Amino acid sequence: MRIDPPLAGDERATLIGFLDYQRDTLAWKCEGLTGEQLRLRGVEPSSLSLLGLVRHMADVERAWFRIRLNGEDLPPIFFTDEHPDDDFDALDSAPVEEVFATWRTEIETARKISAETDLGALMKKPNRAGELMSHRWILAHMLEEYARHNGHADLLRERIDGATGE
């Protein structure tokens, strides 16, 4: 169930509200589909699928909140340096329930880290270019990341069963 972001919240409540709305939108786009439907590729040669998007976003949540913002030393979940696209590519044996549980766990962990971190706090681990972004920047970036991929999810879902929606 999607909850609308607050209409007159403070900065934190607004950013978190919109991010949770986008997270819930991806879940909604996947709702009621079979594992086979979730694995269905959109348009060749792209390996984009709804299940791949969920796997990708689990890794994105982990990377920005746990690894970079919180400074945890963790590997990616669904890909490796040798296979950087496995979040999208290695789906044939991916257990759907486990993928969604992992994504939800990463979201819950990200929420806890966000709740304990000032919006102006800088990441503890720099990005590849050595830059340190603020927690505020990460939240805005996550909105962009989900919004872009939710556009993909909307097209994928429409292709699967004709379902559309904002």
CATH at residue 87: 1.20.120.450
Q: Is residue 6 part of a domain?
A: no
pLDDT: which is higher, 106 or 128:
106
pLDDT band at 94 (very low <50, low <70, confident <90, very high): confident
Count of structural domains, the chain: 1
The answer to the question of residue 64 being in a domain is: yes
Does residue 101 sit within a domain?
Answer: yes
Report how far residue 124's alpha carbon sits from residue 130's, in angstroms, rounded to the nearest whole number: 11
Q: Decide if pLDDT at 123 tops 90.
A: yes
User: Domain range spanning residue 32?
Assistant: 11-161
Does residue 3 belong to any structural domain of this protein? no
Is residue 67 situated within a structural domain?
Answer: yes
Express each pLDDT in 24-56 by its tens digit: 999 999 999 999 999 999 887 889 999 999 999
Whether residue 39 lies inside any domain: the answer is: yes
Q: With respect to residue 68, please indicate whether it lies within any of the assigned structural domains.
A: yes
pTM reported for the whole predicted model: 0.94
pLDDT of amino acid 138? 98
**Domain-embedded: residue 126:** yes
pLDDT at 144 > cutoff 80 = yes
